[in-house]
Amino acid sequence: MKFFKLFVLMAAAVVANPTLAAGDAEAGEAKAATCAACHGPGGSKPIAGNYPKLAGQGEAYLVKQLQDYKSGERENAIMAGQAANLSEQDMADLGAYYASQEAEAGQADPEWVEQGAKLYRGGDMANGLPSCSGCHGPAGQGVDGAKYPHLAGQNAQYVEEQLKAFRAAGRNDLGDNVIKRTNDPASMMQTVAAKMSDSQIKAVASYISEIGRAHV
């Protein structure tokens, strides 16, 4: 029953997908000069681990995040300021540009990677936790049509912080410094993250950071 409910949420998220403006990657490259200060050239080398990599991210997903920062649906003081004056075309162009860039894998923490791989691929059925690969793909490529983000190679610290923010919202955690994130389609990530422990979050985040890494 738990997984049936999650399937219903997934279907609803796919259906609720309005048409986006066509993005121009070349125009987006010029507009991305400001973004590079924090996310690095091409969006592949952020200046800190809690800033996301943008290279290779889905165009529709990126546009939605910028829209949500501008509207306040996703809270972040820095990004709210950056998105405030962006038009829909600006957002589409930036999304197209970063989607055209090649993502780079990171290095997983060996202490967590084995557990993280098992959770990412198979979930924790005993506790109703679905696999990450069911929505984000076995290679972490995401499903941009449904605005499920590309995860492969994403900074582990950033992933961990976002999962905890979704979990705080899903559990309705209280406290002065509790950060909550609620802009996920059909509250799917809130539902999933609410079932995760700190160690599971750390393990999955670590594994995600190295998906796509060539082992020699």
Sequential DSSP letters for the chain: -HHHHHHHHHHHHHH--PPPPPP-HHHHHHHTTTTHHHH-GGGSS-SSTTSPP-TT--HHHHHHHHHHHHHTSS--HHHHHHHTT--HHHHHHHHHHHHTSPP------TTTHHHHHHHHHH-BGGGTB--SHHHH-TTS--BGGGTBPP-TT--HHHHHHHHHHHHHHHHT---TT------SGGGHHHHHHTT--HHHHHHHHHHHHHTTPPP-
What pLDDT, in 10s, does the model give residues 127-138?
A: 999 999 999 999
Q: Go through the domains of the chain in sequence order and give each one's CATH number.
A: 19-99 (1.10.760.10), 113-210 (1.10.760.10)
Full pLDDT tens readout for the chain, 216 residues: 444 444 444 444 444 455 667 899 999 999 999 999 999 999 999 999 999 999 999 999 999 999 999 999 999 999 999 999 999 999 999 999 999 999 888 888 899 999 999 999 999 999 999 999 999 999 999 999 999 999 999 999 999 999 999 999 999 998 888 899 999 999 999 999 999 999 999 999 999 999 987 543
Q: At a CB cut-off of 8 Å and minimum separation 6, what does 110 contact?
A: none
Distance separating alpha carbons of residues 109 and 118, to the nearest angstrom: 15
Sequential DSSP letters for 1-59: -HHHHHHHHHHHHHH--PPPPPP-HHHHHHHTTTTHHHH-GGGSS-SSTTSPP-TT--H
Cβ-based neighbour number of residue 11 at 10 Å: 12
Q: Could you tell me the two tokens for 128?
A: 């109703």
Look at the alpha carbons of 115, 116, 118, 123 in this order and tell me if their dihedral is positive or negative.
positive
Amino acid at 155: N
pTM surpassing 0.85? yes
What pLDDT, in 10s, does the model give residues 153-198?
A: 999 999 999 999 999 999 999 888 889 999 999 999 999 999 999 9
So what's the pLDDT on residue 32? 98
